Amino acid sequence: MVIKPMIRSNICINAHPIGCAKETARQIEYVKQQKTKRGIRTAAEGGAGPKTVLVLGCSTGYGLASRISAAFEYGADTIGVSFEKEASERKYGTPGWYNNKEFDKEAAAQGLKTVTLNADAYSDETRQAVIAQVKEWGRKFDLVIYSLASPVRTDPDTKVLYKSVIKPIGREYGGAALDMMTGKITQASTGPAEGDEVANTVKVMGGEDWERWMKMLSEAGVLAEGCRTVAYSYIGPALSHPIYRDGTIGEAKKDLEKRAKDIDASLKSIGGSAYVSVNKGLVTRSSSVIPIIALYLGVLFKVMKKKGTHEGCIEQMERLFAERLFTGDSNGAGKVPVDEEGRIRIDDWELDPAVQAEVDSIMPTVTEENIASVADLDGLRHDFLAINGFDVPGVDYEADIADMTKID
């Protein structure tokens, strides 16, 4: 079968096995190069960075990039958790399933311990499985990454299923919606959250589950002295605040930040700490369908690439590890620079006032006729496709794929 991208309304509903694997391999190669460039040493080489890392939401985006940085730059053994649709011989799996498979293959080839659990990270059964696995290794986690982004979560106590929404609060939000594949611009709007939608979104995307993870890991005695934990967030520019920072997702992220302080306090007894890292805006499955966001990202990418400051997931996470989390002697846990709210800001280059001023000056001028020149439309398309294994260099997209479970 020859696999071509199947796209519906800025959503790609299939994946290319070899493309996903090659894109994961590209990120691995990037951090290996950065390891050499920065002179980072693994534990086996006398370094003091992370040795045993848990990544919750390990299969795509920032979670995958975090796991790659931990393993291939710092030499950490890792346990990853994500919930993916497995491939069969004749039916493709989700992109994350292929990404995980490539990660495990490359980690094993480098002599690293790796276990990937295809399971619901919100369940206590999965927590117990992770605890059992790290105890089997005879190890404790010195870093826990929380990078879950799911539309639904079942409360492990009540068994109630909660659903999250991306909506403004109190008023409608509208703006230009960009079709990344065609360059067409339309006007789109989203009505305000209703009923329990805000509370439900906080229940899914807030910090409750992160706090539960850290509590159970602590009670099981599998957190190492000095363990750090990091969850990911986004603030973005003022133009997106009504739909994001001041919307339902923003309320969830504020809950995440509040609980980070509670988790931080609970880790003091072992010299640990908890952080929220505010990251850069990137093309994701969710950002692609939010009014104004795709257009904003297209302009932002153009401006940042011109300035030489554009980063994708892997560049962001490698910089987070090397320039925020592990800045001490021998690449150990040094003092973490934070803002006045105690957050790590790795979105600093995106929200540079000079960058935002240029973006703000361009946004009102964008039309279908000039978008290819004033925005990075090609870059948007590439990132959108590459998430699903398409438009990846070195892949023969005319080749027949006889077995959807194979990644080479």
Q: Do residues 309 and 352 touch, judged by C-beta distance below 8 A?
A: yes
Helices (H) and strands (E) in the chain, counts: 12, 13
Helix (H, G, I), strand (E, B) or coil at 208: helix
Rounded average pLDDT over 241-262: 95
Helix (H, G, I), strand (E, B) or coil at 91: strand
Q: Do residues 183 and 371 touch, judged by C-beta distance below 8 A?
A: yes
The amino acid at 296: Y
pLDDT tens sequence across 213-223:
999 999 999 99
Spatial CA neighbour of 334 closest among 392, 389, 273, 292: 273
pLDDT band at 11 (very low <50, low <70, confident <90, very high): confident
Q: Do residues 244 and 201 touch, judged by C-beta distance below 8 A?
A: no
Spatial CA neighbour of 360 closest among 295, 309, 406: 295
Distance CA 265, CA 95 (A): 37
Question: Could you tell me the CA-to-CA distances from 139 to 52, 164, 179, 288, 366 in Å, in that order?
Answer: 7, 35, 48, 40, 54
What pLDDT was estimated at residue 142?
97
Q: Do residues 20 and 99 touch, judged by C-beta distance below 8 A?
A: yes
pLDDT tens sequence across 103-147:
999 999 999 999 999 999 999 999 999 999 999 999 999 999 999
Phi, psi of 119 (to 5 degrees): -155, 165
Q: In which element (H, E) is residue 319 found?
A: helix 313-320
- Residue tagged active-site, from 173, 232, 244, 296: 244
Rounded average pLDDT over 250-258: 96
Q: Do residues 116 and 80 touch, judged by C-beta distance below 8 A?
A: yes
pLDDT band at 291 (very low <50, low <70, confident <90, very high): confident
Distance CA 151, CA 337 (A): 31
Percent of the chain with pLDDT over 90: 91
pLDDT band at 3 (very low <50, low <70, confident <90, very high): very high
Q: Do residues 40 and 332 touch, judged by C-beta distance below 8 A?
A: no
| Residue with token string 């805006």 | 281
Spatial CA neighbour of 175 closest among 293, 76, 257, 4: 293
Distance CA 61, CA 9 (A): 21
pLDDT band at 398 (very low <50, low <70, confident <90, very high): very high
Helix (H, G, I), strand (E, B) or coil at 274: strand
Q: Does residue 231 register a pLDDT over 80?
A: yes
Contact partners, residue 159, CB within 8 Å, separation at least 6: none
301: exposed, middle or buried (C-beta count within 10 Å: 0-12, 13-18, 19+)? buried
Structure tokens at 313: 């997931």
Q: Does residue 93 register a pLDDT over 80?
A: yes
Q: Where are the alpha helices (DSSP H) in 149-271?
A: 197-205, 208-219, 248-267
Q: Do residues 306 and 373 touch, judged by C-beta distance below 8 A?
A: no
Is 244 in the active site?
yes
Q: Does residue 288 register a pLDDT over 70?
A: no
Strands 77-82 and 114-118, bridge-based pairing: parallel
Contact partners, residue 65, CB within 8 Å, separation at least 6: 27, 313, 314, 316, 317, 318
The amino acid at 317: M
Structure tokens at 99: 């990404």
Strands 7-8 and 11-12, bridge-based pairing: antiparallel
pLDDT band at 8 (very low <50, low <70, confident <90, very high): confident
pTM for this structure? 0.97
Helix (H, G, I), strand (E, B) or coil at 154: strand
pLDDT band at 286 (very low <50, low <70, confident <90, very high): low
pLDDT tens sequence across 173-223:
988 889 888 999 998 889 999 999 999 999 999 999 999 999 999 999 999
Percent of the chain with pLDDT over 70: 99
Rounded average pLDDT over 318-340: 95
Helix (H, G, I), strand (E, B) or coil at 275: strand
What pLDDT was estimated at residue 9?
76
Q: Does residue 285 register a pLDDT over 80?
A: no
Give me the chain's average pLDDT, please. Answer: 95
pLDDT tens sequence across 367-394:
999 999 999 999 999 999 999 999 999 9
Phi, psi of 78 (to 5 degrees): -135, 145
